[in-house]
Amino acid sequence: MTVPRSTLRLQLHKDFTFDDAARQVDYMASLGISHAYLSPITTATSGSTHGYDTVDYTRVNPELGGEEGLKRLVDKLRAHEMGLIVDVVPNHMGVGGSENLWWMDILEWGRHAAHARYFDVDWHSPDPALRGKVLAPFLGAAYGEELQGGKIKLTFDPEDGRFKITYYSNTFPVSPLDYAAILQEHAPEMAQRFTGLSTQPADQPRADEARAALKEFTASEEGKKAIDTAIRAHSGDNPTGRDRLHRLLERQHYRLAWWRTAADEVNWRRFFDVSTLGGMRVERPEVFEASHALIFRLFTEGLIDGVRIDHVDGLAEPREYCQRLRNRLEELAAQRPENLQQPRTYFVVEKILARGEPVRDDWQIDGTTGYDFMNDVGALLHDPRGAQPLAQNWAELSGRPAEFDVEAKAARRKILAENLSAELDRAARALHRIARDTPTTRDFTFSSLKRVAAELVVHFPVYRIYPIGGQRSAEDERFFAQAYEGAKAALAPADHAILERIAQWLGGPGGDEPVEEKPRERLLDRNGRERPVSAFQNPPASASGSNSSGSHRRNAQTLFSQLTSPVAAKAVEDTACYRYGRLISRNEVGADPGEFSLSVDLFHEGNQERAARFPNAMLTTATHDHKRGEDVRARIAALSEIPDEWAATLKSWSTLNTPHRRILGDADGDKTAWAPGAAAEAMLYQTLVGCWPPTLSPDDEAGVKELAERVSAWQLKAMREAKLRTSWFAPDEAYENACRDFLFDILAPQRRDGFLGELPAFVARIARTGAINSFQQTLLRLTSPGVPDLYQGTELWDFSLVDPDNRRPVDFEQRRAWLADGEAQGAPSEQLQNWRDGRVKLGIVRRALALRAHAQSLFAQGSYIPLKVEGEHADSVIAFARHAGSAYAVVIATRLADSLLAENDSGLPLVDAAHWEDTAVILPEALASRALFDWLSPNAPKADGQRLFMRDALASMPVALLMEEGVPRV
């Protein structure tokens, strides 16, 4: 149980607990899984469905069953010789309610709180109203409106003797320094106990003693009456009480504010733009230890075997964090139970990689969680010949840009201006501090620095860079240079000198050098007098003045990196991907929709690099964060093979459904604007084509309605994320309702002779190609170098949409029963006749995982050998071998199969043997003229020399997993 052989990701919440997971362990073992892989187990906000809003790092979540429930799960896993990997969230905590005691501490005591340095708070805000305070943007409307309406109230909790501010279900502590003023008129003796308090740590125990006395006092009738009177004196029901309450609120260490103020004024780091998730300063040793203490103890006790780190790019120093975590895990490994000792702890990170961006070797990790592989295999499914006509058709139909990069840059500008402007301000202020440190840059204004920094962010091609000792590495420089050149082209020449300086301050050459003033060029004015030269005209070569400290530069580098990362996520994944619709199968987390396809050669190169550098990285094709299920993407990818037919279908459907459009007009005064609009309508059709269940009949009214509800939830989220005619920030409910009505109209039972009849007919047209794509990506994930990860439930067809749809309950009982049936009935190929119900996919998963268990070293340490394909339809095959010692496994998959299926009358997702003609895979010489056994079918194809013909290898299944005869079957 050192390195996982395979993992299965489970999403835990109050309705699927440790005990529920334990009941599936025998099923997972039968499937061939070696490690359960759990969503976060630390205590999260009550009712959390995902666990990423941790409120207490020190306890196993009681809603999941607590530590005892975890132990019961682990006991079940150990009984099946399985391990456990857990998701760890070091970047942020949930701060939206009152459950996070660390957050409550800083709201109560401000910068002198015991946990003040745990959160990434700017206590020195340039806004006087926020200096020494924390913005609390949790009001549903403007502060004055909520105060006037009596929604903000002073209350008293007799259980712990504390005054609190309540706002609906939210509570905020009142500083003990204000208790004296609250109590003075009504309980002067109690007030005296709080008089003279300060926020200094030495005074805080005194406050606890005073609160204990207050608690005892309020247990009496006299005390209750005094407290009630004090509360009424601060009531918002009358002007005097409202004024007192307002003045009390103004004295707190937080400023209550409307949630909309966060984008412009928040003075603490958020997770992306989510104002209920506060950024942690895990780079501080005490924060690192406090936030990981539970995980370390559970690891030492043998309850967990490995970790997955969430959103590593949000941290100030990802490299240092990973190195520190690796060292701590290896130190603790020696203290684990003897039977669980392991030479190296499994440790992967969630990391989004751009094409050509490497995972850094010095992080000491086992790799990523697999978004890079998901991107590779997803792009491999697409026919490059469809890229240009589909882009052209999208632009003509939607009126949107044909190139994704145009959408992405526009979205970046919007996110910087509207969602993350406070974070941009903070980074610009850090640069401004550096500029003020030296005479040659002191006149670089805050506005100019902000403008230039924003342009760098807009053009940044990766999530972030990772300077070492304040200097960009060669890898960093490669990507930073792209941003630099893009920004330079976009900026006015007057800003180029500022751009050059910022580039140096952010880790460029000369960034750590003291300034050496150049001899100044003498310029004369019209009267012959010497006039000064600006820094723009004669900038020095070095980046920083002699008074500028390295800490200022490193702070600027950190803030800049913690800006580029969320901008990439929010602008690309959560905005542009919902605006651009060439084919939404490429609009996925970790993917670049501008990269339409990937060649077989480049896919092989990626696998070879992974085998050489990170052979234990995770391989995934579905996650809790995906925007559409793996089989939705696989089916939509089939459209890349028929771009002209798809274009004609789109136009036909749009014409057919024109009567169901809603004319609403828009904000620009266009009275002919309609809902959902051309772009949203086209993306809706792609979604319906992609997620229509293979077994759903248009006559099934209940089934169609259920699908419409699911698609409607996706549609609402997609439109708000696109931020065009509606958004989360300013919802246009009339437009949203009109879009929902359009969807339900076109799927209404009376449309069976119209669109509702044509939709499943077209789905049937491409469903076999989509299924072959699904089999291809499934087998590649299970056999490529790395650790295959299975997201819960995706062993059957995964026609889910974006969360929460992809986190729906999984019918494990159905899967358990079908797995048993599959074993009884033999090879997966025997289920191909029933391909629409997904059992054949389940069979592929089980058989491939069984082979990995049987030949562990072959897949764990074996080399990766791309195999050449020759013949008439060589482009429709991908093949490679895994090799270790004398053992080989040969993997073959059908791809780009639509044209080969055109004359197929069998109705199966399988190319007729005769259609392959002379297409053959060239096997390694060691396998020449050898009979091979297919783990997925009864086939035992024999090579003709080194040539293995597809008419033999793929006669029973569109994919094959071959080994030499004599290898026992499982």
- Position 343 scores a pLDDT of 85
CATH code of 7-91+280-369, in short, is: 3.20.20.80
pLDDT above 70: percentage of residues in the chain: 94
Q: What is the mean pLDDT of residues 520-548?
A: 39
Residues facing residue 889 across a β-bridge: 882, 963
Q: What is the pLDDT of residues 808-866, one digit of tens each?
A: 999 999 999 999 886 656 899 999 999 999 999 999 999 999 999 999 999 999 999 99
The secondary structure element, H or E, covering residue 719 is helix 701-722
Q: Among 874, 865, 844, which residue's Cα sits nearest to residue 949?
A: 874
Q: What is the pLDDT of residues 235-277, one digit of tens each?
A: 999 999 999 999 999 999 999 999 999 999 999 999 999 999 9
pLDDT at 124 over 70: yes
Number of CB atoms found within 10 A of residue 930's CB = 17
Q: What is the mean pLDDT of residues 891-908?
A: 88
Q: Cα–Cα distance between 154 and 559 in angstroms, integer? A: 37
Q: Cα–Cα distance between 508 and 427 in angstroms, integer? A: 17
Q: Cα–Cα distance between 221 and 435 in angstroms, integer? A: 63
Q: Cα–Cα distance between 884 and 854 in angstroms, integer? A: 13
Number of H helices, E strands in the chain: 33, 29
Q: Where are the beta strands (DSSP E) in 734-868?
A: 787-791, 863-866
Q: How far is CA 776 from CA 783, 831, 845, 852, in A?
A: 11, 16, 12, 17
- The tokens describing 150, both together, are 């009596």
Q: Cα–Cα distance between 611 and 795 in angstroms, integer? A: 25
Contact residues for 546 (Cβ-Cβ < 8 A; gap 6+): 438, 514, 515
Q: Cα–Cα distance between 751 and 753 in angstroms, integer? A: 5
3-state SS of the chain: helix, strand, coil percent to 5? 50, 15, 35
- The tokens describing 153, both together, are 């109230």
CB 270 within 8 Å of CB 279: yes
CA atoms within 13 A on the CB side of 343: 1
- Position 525 scores a pLDDT of 43
Q: Output the 3-class SS for 180-242.
A: HHHHCCCCHHHHHHHCCCCCCHHHHHHHHHHHHHHHHHHCCHHHHHHHHHHHHHCCCCCHHHH
The secondary structure element, H or E, covering residue 103 is helix 101-109
Answer left, alpha or beta for residue 382, where phi above 0 means left and psi between -120 and 50 means alpha.
Answer: beta
- The tokens describing 596, both together, are 């339409």
Per-residue pLDDT band for 511 (boundaries 50, 70, 90) equals low
What distance separates the 2 farthest-apart alpha carbons in the chain?
101
- Position 899 scores a pLDDT of 94
- The tokens describing 600, both together, are 């077989």
Q: Where are the beta strands (DSSP E) in 339-417?
A: 346-349
pLDDT at 535 over 70: no
pLDDT at 452 over 50: yes
CA atoms within 13 A on the CB side of 840: 24
- The tokens describing 184, both together, are 């003075």
Phi first, then psi, for residue 960 (nearest 5°) are -140, 145
Per-residue pLDDT band for 516 (boundaries 50, 70, 90) equals very low
Q: What is the pLDDT of residues 677-717, one digit of tens each?
A: 999 999 999 999 999 999 999 999 999 999 999 999 999 99
- Position 823 scores a pLDDT of 64
Answer left, alpha or beta for residue 258, where phi above 0 means left and psi between -120 and 50 means alpha.
Answer: beta
Per-residue pLDDT band for 768 (boundaries 50, 70, 90) equals very high
- Position 822 scores a pLDDT of 66
- The tokens describing 386, both together, are 């469809």
pLDDT above 90: percentage of residues in the chain: 91
Q: Cα–Cα distance between 354 and 368 in angstroms, integer? A: 13
The whole-chain average pLDDT of the chain stands at: 93
Q: Which residue's entry shows tokens 């592989």? A: 373
What letters, b where the CB count within 10 A reaches 16 and e where it falls short, cover 574-603? Answer: bbbbbbbbbbbbbbbbbbbbbbbbbebeeb
Q: Cα–Cα distance between 232 and 182 in angstroms, integer? A: 11
- Position 533 scores a pLDDT of 37
CATH superfamily of 101-271: Maltooligosyl trehalose synthase, domain 2 (3.30.1590.10)
pTM over 0.75? The answer is yes
- The tokens describing 434, both together, are 């550096």
CA atoms within 13 A on the CB side of 376: 24
Per-residue pLDDT band for 546 (boundaries 50, 70, 90) equals very low
Ranked by mean pLDDT, which of 1-10, 295-304, 537-546, 819-828 comes out on top? 295-304
Domain ranges of the chain: 7-91+280-369, 101-271, 375-386+587-764, 432-490+505-523+531-578, 811-964
- Position 549 scores a pLDDT of 61
pLDDT at 192 over 60: yes
Q: Cα–Cα distance between 26 and 18 in angstroms, integer? A: 14
- DSSP assignment of 310-361: S-GGGSS-HHHHHHHHHHHHHHHHTTS-GGG--SS-EEEE-----TTPPPPG
Q: Cα–Cα distance between 106 and 108 in angstroms, integer? A: 5
Task: Calculate ∠ Cα 108-114-116, nearest 5°.
Answer: 70
- Position 590 scores a pLDDT of 95
- Position 670 scores a pLDDT of 77
Q: Among 140, 163, 168, which residue's Cα sits nearest to residue 152?
A: 168
Torsion angle (degrees, nearest 10) of CA 563, 568, 574, 575: 100
pLDDT at 743 over 90: yes
Q: Where are the beta strands (DSSP E) in 862-958?
A: 863-866, 869-870, 877-884, 887-894, 920-922, 932-934, 947-949
| Chain mean position to CA 833 | 37
Q: What is the mean pLDDT of residues 216-226?
A: 95
Q: What is the pLDDT of residues 943-957, one digit of tens each?
A: 999 999 999 999 999
Q: What is the mean pLDDT of residues 433-448?
A: 96
Q: What is the pLDDT of residues 382-428, one digit of tens each?
A: 999 999 999 999 999 999 999 999 999 999 999 999 999 999 999 99
Residue 845 three-state SS:
helix
Q: Please, is 799 exposed, middle or buried when counting C-beta atoms within 10 Å of its C-beta (0-12, 13-18, 19+)?
A: buried
pLDDT at 560 over 50: yes
- Position 22 scores a pLDDT of 98
Contact residues for 612 (Cβ-Cβ < 8 A; gap 6+): none
pLDDT at 430 over 50: yes
- Position 293 scores a pLDDT of 98
